Amino acid sequence: MLQKRDIKKYLPLIIVLIAMMLPDVAMAQNRYRVGVCDWMVLKRQKLGEFKLAKELGCDGLEMDMGGLGKRDSFDNKMRQPEMARKFRHTADSLGIEVGAVAMSGFYGQSFARKKSWRWLVEDCLNTMDVMDATVAFLPLGGCGNNWTDSLPLRREIVERLHEAGEMAHRRGKVIGIDTPLDAKGNKRLLREIGSKGIKIFYKLQTAVEHRRDISKDLRKLGGDNICAIHASVAPPRQGDGHAGSEAYARQDGMVGMALRGEEPQRDRRAQREEELWREREISEGNIRQGENRQIRTYR
């Protein structure tokens, strides 16, 4: 046990060590920002999304472009100058950043088959200008499960993504895509696309569903190929032997993950978020299987 004289002796060294550690601690806490997806908290393009994000203690949010369905355009309020002004003013007044703009309509519509895809991408880029966002989210779920192995379909997707990426890059923006591929497959796909305007919007749920080691997959993919991360929560499937996971925003601005059954220490913001998810599940009892709770971490 250290005596008083020992403490005095080593005090300068202790102070130096703490001083050396502080920048790393500060950097770890400020390196990533956390946001919530507005469509997952029933606030898709609603002014109340900024207040809710503030209450949850988020740094920002991911704004959706609005519904798409079989229409040629998103149900996007940001095309209306007055609405765009109100949204931007509300975001600025509350100090909530729009970290990304999502084209979630492509979960249900094929990016490879949609004839109006150029207009949809352009509309998204314009909305990003309004909200001063630099990252877009483009899921490829609507393309089906076999596009990665179907040469004609894959070629069409690659060509469209290259053009979309160049559209984004010319405007200083990046489009993040969500694919079912692992790190090796995603890196190969990015090489095929060949545009600096396309990166991976990494989705933790996708990795879990394919039983991948998330840490290894992220390291193999590399930070330069990732523009943002979706941290998701999906209910466990019956009989699969896997527990569900819970994502919650901590006070240090990072995202914590815990298996169901464990009891993580929750702060008030985490408890509030959990209550919101429960309210959402009750109000959307008929929500389609596979839709899940998400928060977004972005640089």
Whole-prediction pTM value?
0.70
Better-scored residue on pLDDT, 236 or 172: 172
What is the pairing mode between strands 135-139 and 174-178? parallel
Better-scored residue on pLDDT, 256 or 51: 51
Contact 176, 228 (CB under 8 A): yes
pLDDT at residue 115 in the model: 93
Per the DSSP assignment, residues forming a β-bridge with 295 are 36, 231
| Average pLDDT of span 115-135 | 95
Per the DSSP assignment, residues forming a β-bridge with 60 are 35, 97
- Least confident piece of the model among 89-103, 121-135, 144-158: 144-158
pLDDT at residue 147 in the model: 83
Predicted confidence band of residue 149 (pLDDT cuts 50, 70, 90): confident
CA distance 169 to 198: 8
* pLDDT tens readout for residues 17-33: 444 444 444 444 556 78
pLDDT at residue 285 in the model: 46
| Average pLDDT of span 184-203 | 96
Better-scored residue on pLDDT, 151 or 47: 47
The rounded mean pLDDT for the chain is: 77
Rounded to 5, what percent of the chain is helix, strand, coil?
Answer: 45, 20, 35
pLDDT at residue 290 in the model: 43
What is the pairing mode between strands 174-178 and 198-203? parallel
* pLDDT tens readout for residues 50-85: 999 999 888 899 999 999 988 899 999 999 999 999
pLDDT at residue 299 in the model: 43
* pLDDT tens readout for residues 260-282: 333 334 445 445 555 555 555 45
CA distances from 211 to 105, 181, 205, 214, 215 (A): 26, 12, 10, 9, 12
Q: What residue spans of the chain are helical by DSSP H? A: 4-30, 48-55, 81-94, 117-131, 151-170, 183-193, 204-209, 214-221, 268-283
For residue 217, is pLDDT > 80?
yes
